[in-house]
Structure 1
Amino acid sequence: MCALNDDIREYTERLREGAVPRAYRGIMSFMSELLRRMSASHPDHAVSALYAGFMDMTYFAITPADLKILNLKVAVVYLHEENRFEVWLGGGNRKIQAEYIKRLSGADIGDYTLSKVSPGVDSILEKRLLEHPNFEDKESLIRRLDNDVTAFIGDMIELMRY
């Protein structure tokens, strides 16, 4: 097991090299822009602040009234270690999340992944959107994510009608 001071030395060296802070700033800048643009293109949806995370995940919620009234939310998630975007259906709290996981366990959920109730799991349903995204082509990436998240939201509204 590494000592904390050893980990901090390694961390400091990586920061001095420059790639890690540049990449992190780039991801945060992109996520802020994505949040701003999706908020503008979906003015009727409730949008949360950006959660930066601890270099594990960064996300924001964008939720239409049809899901919010059910105490559900949609999270646009970037997973740092995996370099992947996902979209999640989440509950307002763990109890609601567990209820929906149970309710959906026998349902036809298409190509979505149903989560399991366990500590640290923050979703009801998940979908991988994009592995190894091209951050250099920001406009295309924003368009694709907006389209994919919009389709997910539509599917979740339909799924909750049953």
Structure 2
Amino acid sequence: MIPFHEAMNEYRSQMEHGVIKQAYRGLMEYIRDLRVHFETTVPGSFVTGSIYPGYMDMTYFSFTPESLHRQKLKIAIVFLHETCRFEVWLAGMNKRIQAEYWNRLKESNWSAYPLAASLQGVDAITTHVLSENPDFRDLPLLTRHIEQGVMQFTADIEDFLSIEQA
């Protein structure tokens, strides 16, 4: 890791080129539009009022169907900056809920999606890659692809929870 002052010199240099600023602005606009898409087109869901922009590590918003909200769970649609990919995460509304459901999935030998290796410093119970290499040339197609992946992930979680509670 380079010293902070050297990192800032590189940051300044990259910002002077303007491409990073343009890409970041475009990404934030797309994620805002994606959030609005889920809010307006997916019935019976609850979407948070804001997007978490992160520290160029991750940017996300939560999309929580009522069935999961009642169980204090949420679905997060996440963009990971380092790998430039979209993922969907199941998370708890707090650390206690997170631990409870992580343990339930682990004890059930859940295998549909990978569980977080541990809960230390992790915000997800289980995750799924939605788009390994998103094509930002066709945003409507990317949005449909993300929506389909999120809806399948959500349905799989809901199915598991309904079977477990039966």
Is 1:9–2:19 an aligned residue pair?
no
Quote the residue 1:25 is aligned against.
Answer: 25
Aligned residues: 162
Q: C-alpha separation between the residues in 2 aligned to 1:26 and 1:113?
A: 30
Partner of 2:75, secondary structure, is strand
Is 1:88–2:89 an aligned residue pair?
yes
Q: C-alpha separation between the residues in 2 aligned to 1:116 and 1:55?
A: 23
TM-score (norm 2): 0.92
TM-score (norm 1): 0.94
Letter in 1 for 2:82: E
1:98–1:117 CA contact under 8 A, matched in 2: no
Partner of 2:52, secondary structure, is coil
Q: State the shift of 1:27 in Å.
A: 0.9
Q: State the shift of 1:108 in Å.
A: 4.7
Quote the residue 2:100 is aligned against.
Answer: 99
RMSD: 1.3
Moved more, 70-79 or 37-46: 37-46
2:75–2:88 CA contact under 8 A, matched in 1: yes
Quote the residue 1:151 is aligned against.
Answer: 152
Quote the residue 1:45 is aligned against.
Answer: 45
Unaligned runs of 5+ in 1: none
1:101–1:116 CA contact under 8 A, matched in 2: no
Identity %: 38
Q: C-alpha separation between the residues in 1 aligned to 2:89 and 2:3?
A: 35
Q: C-alpha separation between the residues in 2 aligned to 1:131 and 1:55?
A: 17
Unaligned runs of 5+ in 2: none
1:75–1:88 CA contact under 8 A, matched in 2: yes
Moved more, 1-10 or 57-66: 1-10
Partner of 2:51, secondary structure, is coil
